Amino acid sequence: MKSTGIVRKVDELGRIVLPIEMRRTLDIGERDALEIYVEGSSVILKKYKPSCIFCDATKDITVFKGKNVCPKCLKELKEL
């Protein structure tokens, strides 16, 4: 993990602010969803990209019965 040297305090509502330079570098815009991971004592934020529940592909995802499915896996399901 690479340190940025940036330190931010958590406010009374539990929020932190990501600096604009970091958001621009990581292509994080207003209202973008971020996934939150915990690894040991570290909190990791990752820009959310919906992925297929079967193969983890992220291109042309379709939501089927509340689940994300890619075209390839959707085709395979139809053939069952």
CATH at residue 33 = 2.10.260.10
Q: Say if CB 6 and CB 21 are below 8 A apart.
A: no
Say yes or no: 1 and 34 in one domain: yes
The CA-atom distances, in angstroms, between 45 and each of 32, 48, 61 are 12, 9, 22
Domain that includes residue 55, residue range:
50-80
* Rounded mean pLDDT for each run of 10 residues along the chain, 80 residues in total: 90 96 94 95 92 94 92 92
| Whole-prediction pTM | 0.64
Considering its fold, how many domains does the chain have in total?
2
